Amino acid sequence: MGLKKDFLWGSATASYQCEGAVNVGGRVPSMWDTYLHDGGYETGDVASDFYHHYKEDIKMMADGGQNTLRLSLAWPRIIKNIKGEINEEGVEFYRDVLKTCQQYGITPFVTIYHWDLPQYLEEKGGWLNEETCYAFEQYAKVCFEKFGDLIEYWVTFNEPKWFTFNGYMVGNYPPGHHSAQEMIIAAYHVMYASALGVRAFKEGHYKGMIGIVHSFGPVDGIDDTLATKIAMRFADNYANNWILDTAAKGEIPFDLLCVLSQNYDLSCIKNEHLPIIKNYTVDFLGLNYYSRVWVKPYSGGETQLVVNNSGKDFKGESKIVIKGWFEQIMNNPDAIYTEWDVEIYPQGLQKGLKQVWEKYHLPIFITENGVGVREDITVDQVEDDYRISFMNDHISAIMNAVDAGVDVRGYYAWSTFDLYSWKNGVEKRYGLVGIDFDDKELKRKPKKSYYWYKSIAESNGEKIQRKDW
Ligand code: BGP
């Protein structure tokens, strides 16, 4: 069977993580700027300075055999204030970026929201306020109007689960809250806003397709017992279904709502919203795959949520236990983990892709996949054989799934070049291209993986060393 001829081979970025230039071109603060500055954390003020390097960066992608770039638009660069006034300078910046993509034969794959909510909206309650959903709808309409001629692939949201979970429950992303009730409200509002965005896109008859990007964690169980199967269903609702079922089928998983309704207020879910969610489902699914969610039955104790993304020195202690639901298996001696506790498990992608395909029958893009490590970037070329092997095995998993009939249409390495890894700072590196953040010029240096990926993209995957599990 094999990959289709027009398979998209590219890499991914996000506005706050790469652009820098936070005070340039009329951009206003995002919730991340305020939260990081107020908390005294490392910021993305400069990041990879894509704002000033995009021509060079896009050319480098094309030279590296890539035919697509996943990027996001920064809401605070496009909409100036609560009244919704447009910042034309921001619009011009993105039009230039998109035209540069066109010039180099790079298909843009564009996320409307990758976590950088304007601070003026956060001050009105952010994702806890239903009004933010309507502000998103207006912002999305502006994006479709201003950039619709240059874009074929749109994404409403990047990873609703990850940013609401960290922002409202774990508390290590802005706004830094610790409340399950708030997470439920924020998460629901994001999914409703996504449906409003899809409606605006469909009603405006813009060209192309619109989807959502999910932090995909296919669920595995420790054994075949009934208790584990129940834990797996809880874990699947928690990790995947409330996003994928809602976005793809227009249905919030009912068993999840039944369980939540016993302890939480679900009045944010209004009857008049439901037909919008039902009728405006996505055209495709973007899956970011880093690892599986491997679970065992809940054995007791309080809910514990420790996520290893809180600063550069914090490592090796991740823990997810949800009271009454499930426990995530960590530190298994037979598994391989990165320094940040992420299990390397490409087989999970193969299995997960088949499950998603069977369940939703929508085209799939792997919108992020990569490995974060510390690297010495002062050398001429980073010899990142570990990244090559990681990507090889995951692409092999995708090709196996395609051979089994799954409709996967593209692969995006995370990330195009080294960038700001949120609370981890810049030293957790994912890039195919290295950036020395201590060098004023922020010189780009392709790593070994950049050249390897070029040969893979140019051979449309033929050069992958196939694995089967
Ligand atoms: C995803 C995000 C990206 C990116 C990546 C790596 O969740 O969409 O923005 O950051 O994960 O995660 P991290 O930078 O925390 O290691």
> Is residue 450 pLDDT above 70, yes or no?
yes
State whether the beta carbon of 90 lies less than 6 angstroms from ligand 1: no
Return the pLDDT at 313: 61
Return the pLDDT at 62: 98
Q: At what angle do helices 180-203 and 131-147 cross, to 10 degrees?
A: 40
> Is residue 133 pLDDT above 70, yes or no?
yes
Structural contact between residues 367 and 109, judged by C-beta atoms closer than 8 angstroms: yes
Return the pLDDT at 315: 59
Whole-number Å distance, alpha carbon 262 to ligand 1 midpoint, is 33
Return the pLDDT at 2: 87
Return the pLDDT at 308: 78
pLDDT class of 311 with cuts at 50, 70, 90 = low
pTM assigned to the model: 0.97
User: Burial of 443 by CB count in 10 Å (0-12 exposed, 13-18 middle, 19+ buried)?
Assistant: exposed
3-state secondary structure 55-100: HHHHHHHHHCCCCEEEEECCHHHHECCCCCCECHHHHHHHHHHHHH
Amino acid identity of 49? D
pLDDT one-digit tens code per residue, 438-447: 999 999 999 9
Cα gap 63→57, rounded to integer Å: 10
For the segment 93-109, the average pLDDT, to the nearest whole number, is 98
Q: Which residue has the higher pLDDT, 339 or 51?
A: 51
State whether the beta carbon of 15 lies less than 6 angstroms from ligand 1: no
pLDDT one-digit tens code per residue, 1-27: 789 999 999 999 999 999 999 999 999
Cα gap 387→345, rounded to integer Å: 13
Atom of ligand 1 nearest to the CA of 14: 9
Cα gap 240→221, rounded to integer Å: 15
Q: In percent, how much of the chain has pLDDT > 90?
A: 94
> Quick one: 8-292+341-458 is in which CATH superfamily?
Glycosidases (3.20.20.80)
> Is residue 333 pLDDT above 90, yes or no?
no
For residue 43 the two structure tokens come to: 């910021």
Atom of ligand 1 nearest to the CA of 421: 14
Among residues 20, 270, 22, 314, the alpha carbon closest in space to that of 170 is found at 314
- The radius of gyration computed from the CA coordinates of the chain, to the nearest angstrom, equals 21
State whether the beta carbon of 309 lies less than 6 angstroms from ligand 1: yes
Whole-number Å distance, alpha carbon 442 to ligand 1 midpoint, is 21
pLDDT class of 314 with cuts at 50, 70, 90 = low
User: For the chain, how long is the longest CA-to-CA vector?
Assistant: 59
Q: Which residue has the tokens 């447009």?
A: 86
State whether the beta carbon of 215 lies less than 6 angstroms from ligand 1: yes
Q: Where are the domains of the chain?
A: 8-292+341-458
Cα gap 237→254, rounded to integer Å: 10
For the segment 208-220, the average pLDDT, to the nearest whole number, is 98
Q: What is the dihedral of CA 292, 367, 410, 342, to 10 degrees?
A: -30
Q: What is the dihedral of CA 397, 71, 67, 386, to 10 degrees?
A: -40
pLDDT one-digit tens code per residue, 409-444: 999 999 999 999 999 999 999 999 999 999 999 999
For residue 9 the two structure tokens come to: 């081979």
Return the pLDDT at 198: 98
For residue 430 the two structure tokens come to: 């994912």
For residue 433 the two structure tokens come to: 């291209």
Residues with a catalytic annotation lie at 159, 368
Among residues 385, 381, 372, 384, the alpha carbon closest in space to that of 444 is found at 381
**Residue 209 exposure: Cα atoms within 13 Å on the Cβ side:** 15
> Is residue 331 pLDDT above 90, yes or no?
no
Return the pLDDT at 332: 86
Among 289, 366, 368, 427, the mutation site with the greatest number of ligand 1 atoms within 8 A of its Cβ is 368
For the segment 105-119, the average pLDDT, to the nearest whole number, is 98
Return the pLDDT at 340: 87
Cα gap 231→297, rounded to integer Å: 5
User: Average pLDDT over the chain, rounded to whole?
Assistant: 96
pLDDT one-digit tens code per residue, 157-183: 999 999 999 999 999 999 999 999 999
- What is the DSSP secondary structure assignment for residue 118, as one 8-state letter? B
> Is residue 351 pLDDT above 90, yes or no?
yes
Of 212-216, 305-309, 418-422, 461-465, which gets the smallest average pLDDT? 305-309
Among 17, 414, 424, 429, the mutation site with the greatest number of ligand 1 atoms within 8 A of its Cβ is 414
